[in-house]
Chain A
Amino acid sequence: MNKFILIDDEKLSDEGQTPLGATQLDLERDGDRVLLKPADIERALGWSLKEQGLCRGDVCLAISRGESSDGTSSMDLETLAELLGRPLAIDQQEGVALLGTGIEERVLSLAGGQAPDFELPDLSGRMHRLSDHRGKKVLLIAHASW
């Protein structure tokens, strides 16, 4: 077993807050494969492995190609990312991986025409939420010191 950190970058998008949703897990490694037990997947990402597939809330994703479907055996991280349709950045040496936001979800949220909500801190650390300005026109300016 190896210590491995799995970061769920969507937790950040949902809550609009730092720190990232990083979960430390004890995982088996098989060469470059990182194996997650059902309990790991549930703890880090909130998806549970059931007979009908990988489930969260009302959504179940069917599992094919002989991957774990009895809810007990492990699934490797790459297969899991693919199944979730999410990009995976992984550093084998450091024992850390990050799951980002999938292209389908991003395209869908942009195509809605609605400005995605977010909450960020000002210089003094006070949080501001975009939707607090609903009812007014907002000019959103992205700038940087660089």
Chain B
Amino acid sequence: MAFDRCADDVREFIERAAPSHPSVIDTEHLVAELYHVVNVPTMIWIDEQGRICRPHDSQFGTDIFTDFHGKLSEPYLDMLRAWVRTGEGALPRDEVDSLRIEPDAASQLARSERALAWWLHGQQRGEAAERHFVRADELAPNDWTIRRGSMPIRGKDPFGPEFFALAEEGKPDYPMEALTPTRKD
């Protein structure tokens, strides 16, 4: 699923990949809210019973940006194949719980501020929207679904200087990232 403004933001990518699985668009950040997702890409494994069996992890399906993030795709794809075939790599409930990041009152308020900003933006009340995007950023400085994800809406380049300034502050990390063996070095 994609956190984007509209289907056309991601259309070319999805059409080029032509996946056989559903590929959906989440303009309201519903999944960010429900799962407390703070960056992309975020992968979550869900078992046959609908239970989260490997929590939020940031991994990649290709090596296009390996120089930037330092992760290789092949070890992760191998892990995925093993999980699909044998169930290997699924974690017990207590480990899933300890390897999640928890939302807090500030992050919930940040999502509300972002939601209000997005609604105001949709009403062509851009100046008012900006006030609430700013507030959301202040409340959730480590949430890139908010800070980077709002850039295209606010007329900023999510691959430009503002993004690199954000990256300087350090990217949000999921605990799983330190455990999944995909580091290049």
Contact = CB atoms under 8 A, between A and B. Distances in A.
Interface string B93-133: 10011001011110011011101100110000100100110
* Interface size grouping (class) on chain A: 35 or more
B115 to A, nearest CB: 5
B108 A136 contact: no
B152 A123 contact: no
Nearest to A131: B50
Contacts of A31: none
A69 interface: no
A135 interface: yes
B104 A20 contact: no
Interface residues of B, number: 71
Contact of B116 (A7, A121, A122, A146): A7
Contacts, number: 195
B45 A120 contact: no
A30 interface: no
B76 to A, nearest CB: 11
B113 A142 contact: no
Interface in A53-99: 87-91, 93-94, 96-99
Interface of B: 1-4, 7, 9-11, 13-15, 22-28, 30-37, 40-52, 80, 83-84, 93, 96-97, 100, 102-105, 108-109, 111-113, 115-116, 119-120, 125, 128, 131-132, 135, 145, 148-149, 151-152, 158-159
Which 10 pairs, one residue from A and one from B, show the smallest C-beta to C-beta distance?
Answer: A100-B112, A146-B158, A120-B24, A87-B109, A89-B116, A116-B34, A128-B22, A142-B42, A138-B46, A89-B112
